[in-house]
């Protein structure tokens, strides 16, 4: 009996549907929650469209949990207050085809006005205003509910906190963005710390908005553009007029919005911004088209996950085919060896690309690339060039890529720790890039902040034999520096002054500056609060270290390993002798235990101390600062003009309010 061809096709399509659903669900999680995308936008959209086509052919296999029926979720478990949207927050249908845009326009009612807007590539946000006050800032989440990130949103200066003469209740929706300039600076800092780089500003903005440290959020410099107003009894009958009103109220609304009355005007807008967007200070990845009249929007309605009255046209990613001339290798300060693609120069998004990271051995082998291949380089909405594939099929017999066995800088045999993708050079004390990298980290702004000791100067001092460890910095003499190329007496004096000033840097920053692997700025602060000096930390047990928030087994092992190395003990002894702060000062020392184990929210304005000063006091008395009210909140330190939403939430949960005077009395009694 011959096999049933149609049965085989059907089974194959069912397997493909299941496979696509699993792959897209995982991609959504990595994109929205982890801010670590595994698929490009185009790859994701192509797979989603294939899934939609298969599900249309086989309605008997429908599933309400399919990625075609749900909005990708950015919900972060346990970190923020979960809030249900007043109106569902749906995603837009999108296309990469201008012909499909024209088809969509043809199916709309006659004489309809279309509002064209730039599609900003950031994180969607919903701002809720009550009685003129900003009371909630909710992420898209899963479209039905999102995370309230109000404290982080308050760091964006362009978002109004209070307005007069506005409707009693309304909502503004928009996009939180990290400007290109800030994105590049952030990635430079992460590269210095050998932390994974953000692929694009969207992922950086998403990761920033989900941080628990409001100060760190403020430092990164987020911005925002708002593009939709929702609510009842709102001004204007059209989308464009309503945005014009919002702009008059002080909301950040783009100047690039335009009302179009024909297909020709829409296509001209798309062509114009296809080039001009490259000059903007923030990332854009397309154009959004919306029906202007609200009554027509209501008439057109919605699908399960997107409105029928709006669509997004996404610009195709720019990619070029070029020659992979060679693969070279860079050694970082922690010994990680990173392969780099050296390319035949090619122009992408207005810049010449000659190099691109290849991440690690596994990445290279996954693409089966080697020197001499012609490879696809893509930039699109991502500022970091990446290799996405190669021309032609791989001939397994002709594939001979081998990762180096020895360090390209010092010749030491490389090691690869189980569970890690990277190869490392273990020769910490004799590998030049590691030595110089540790010194560069030590003097950096967030560490010892020694002005004038940049990468070039450190290189010159290293070449002269004057710098081999971070402790050597404190033996430098002005005359040693002044005689170096391109330096002089004035530069030397400034560097010596910076070295002297670094001796007053607090213990927590000194700990970060030491460059212990995986001990970042925030983790160093937490460790320094528990272990008040280098002498205490040196004898800490693994169990004691792992009892600290954010310190896991690997970080604990790294700390213990650092103090087990004789060379490090010698360096610490010299730093202490030079006068570097190797223990906590009075300002850093705990003042008591009055707030031990208590979780406290600060709201309102105060007269005797600033909010930041109160946060420091809470930590010095053993308490923990949090931004949102929950059942776990011990009390709210309530000042003048306390947020009405926090007051309402406190009343519903029975969380007590403590005045400024009562709070200071609590500390005084302790």
| Residues recognised as catalytic | 119
* Separation of alpha carbons 114 and 57, rounded Å: 33
* Separation of alpha carbons 175 and 155, rounded Å: 15
* Separation of alpha carbons 637 and 623, rounded Å: 12
CA 213 to chain centre: 13
User: Judging by DSSP bridges, how do beta strands 94-95 and 310-314 pair with one another?
Assistant: parallel
Find, among 430, 414, 424, 388, the residue nearest to 199 by Cα. 388
Structure tokens at 224: 């925002």
Q: Residue 641: which residues within 8 A CB-CB, separation 6 or more?
A: 604, 605
* Separation of alpha carbons 591 and 593, rounded Å: 7
Q: CA triplet 403, 407, 411: central angle to 5 degrees?
A: 130
Q: What are phi and psi of 171, to 5 degrees?
A: -130, 135
Answer whether 115's CB lies under 8 Å from 228's CB.
no
Angle between helices 566-578 and 553-564 (to 10 degrees): 80
Q: CA triplet 610, 613, 619: central angle to 5 degrees?
A: 145
* Separation of alpha carbons 423 and 176, rounded Å: 37
Angle between helices 180-192 and 201-209 (to 10 degrees): 80
Structure tokens at 255: 């100047």
Structure tokens at 452: 């004038």
Q: Residue 68: which residues within 8 A CB-CB, separation 6 or more?
A: 48, 51, 52, 55, 305
């Amino acid at each position: 009996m011959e096999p049933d061809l149609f049965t085989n096709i059907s089974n194959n399509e069912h397997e493909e549907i299941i496979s696509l659903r699993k792959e897209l669900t995982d991609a959504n999680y990595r994109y929205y929650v982890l801010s670590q995308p595994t698929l490009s936008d185009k790859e994701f959209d192509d797979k989603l469209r294939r899934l939609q086509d298969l599900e249309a052919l086989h309605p008997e296999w429908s599933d309400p949990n399919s990625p075609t029926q749900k909005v990708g979720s950015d919900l972060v478990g346990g970190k923020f207050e979960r809030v249900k949207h007043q109106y569902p927050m749906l995603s837009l249908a999108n296309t990469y085809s201008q012909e499909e845009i024209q088809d969509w326009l043809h199916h709309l009612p006659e004489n309809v006005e279309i509002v064209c807007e730039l599609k900003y590539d950031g994180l969607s946000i919903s701002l809720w205003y009550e009685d003129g006050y900003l009371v909630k800032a909710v992420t898209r989440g899963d479209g039905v509910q999102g995370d309230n990130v109000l404290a982080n949103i308050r760091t964006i200066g362009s978002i109004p906190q209070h307005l007069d003469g506005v409707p009693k209740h309304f909502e503004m929706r928009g996009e939180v963005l990290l400007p290109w300039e800030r994105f590049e600076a952030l990635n430079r800092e992460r590269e210095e710390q050998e932390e994974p780089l953000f692929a694009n500003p969207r992922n950086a903005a998403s990761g920033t908005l989900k941080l628990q440290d409001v100060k760190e959020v403020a430092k990164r410099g987020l911005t925002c553009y708002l593009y939709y107003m929702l609510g009842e009894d709102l001004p204007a009958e059209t989308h464009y007029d309503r945005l014009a009103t919002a702009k008059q109220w002080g909301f950040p609304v783009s100047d690039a919005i335009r009302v179009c009355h024909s297909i020709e005007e829409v296509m001209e807008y798309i062509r114009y911004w296809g080039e001009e967007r490259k000059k903007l200070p923030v990332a854009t990845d397309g154009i959004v088209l919306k029906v202007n009249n609200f009554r027509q929007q209501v008439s057109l309605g919605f699908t399960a996950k997107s409105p029928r009255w709006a669509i997004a046209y996404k610009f195709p990613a720019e990619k070029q085919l070029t020659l992979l001339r060679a693969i070279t290798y860079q050694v970082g300060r922690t010994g990680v060896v990173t392969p780099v693609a050296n390319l035949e120069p090619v122009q992408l998004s207005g810049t010449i690309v000659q190099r691109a990271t290849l991440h690690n051995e596994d990445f290279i082998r996954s693409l089966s690339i080697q020197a001499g291949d012609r490879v696809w380089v893509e930039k699109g909405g991502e500022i970091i060039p990446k290799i996405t594939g190669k021309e032609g099929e791989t001939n397994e017999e002709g594939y001979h890529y081998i990762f180096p066995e020895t360090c390209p800088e010092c010749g030491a045999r490389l090691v690869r720790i189980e569970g890690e993708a990277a190869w490392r050079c273990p020769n910490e004390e004799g590998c030049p890039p590691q030595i110089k990298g540790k010194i560069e980290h030590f003097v950096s702004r967030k560490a010892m902040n020694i002005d004038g000791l940049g990468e070039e100067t450190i290189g010159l001092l290293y070449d002269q034999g004057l710098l081999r460890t971070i402790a050597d910095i404190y033996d430098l003499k002005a005359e040693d520096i002044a005689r170096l190329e391109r330096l002089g007496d004035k530069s030397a004096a400034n560097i010596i002054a910076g070295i002297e000033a670094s001796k007053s840097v607090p213990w927590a920053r000194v700990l970060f500056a030491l460059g212990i692997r995986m001990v970042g700025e925030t983790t160093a602060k937490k460790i320094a609060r528990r272990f008040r000096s280098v002498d205490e930390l040196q004898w800490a047990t693994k169990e004691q270290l792992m009892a600290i928030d954010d310190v896991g087994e690997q970080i604990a092992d790294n700390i213990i390993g650092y103090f087990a190395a004789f060379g490090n003990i010698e360096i610490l002894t010299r730093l202490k002798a030079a006068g570097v702060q190797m223990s906590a000062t009075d300002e850093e020392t705990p003042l008591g235990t009055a707030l031990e184990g208590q979780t406290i929210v600060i709201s309102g304005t105060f007269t005797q101390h600033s909010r930041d000063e109160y946060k420091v006091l809470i930590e010095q008395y053993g308490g923990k600062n949090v931004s949102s009210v929950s059942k776990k909140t011990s009390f709210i330190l309530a000042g003048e003009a306390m947020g009405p939403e926090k007051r309402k939430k406190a009343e519903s949960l029975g969380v007590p309010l403590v005045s400024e005077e009562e709070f200071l009395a609590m500390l005084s009694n302790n």
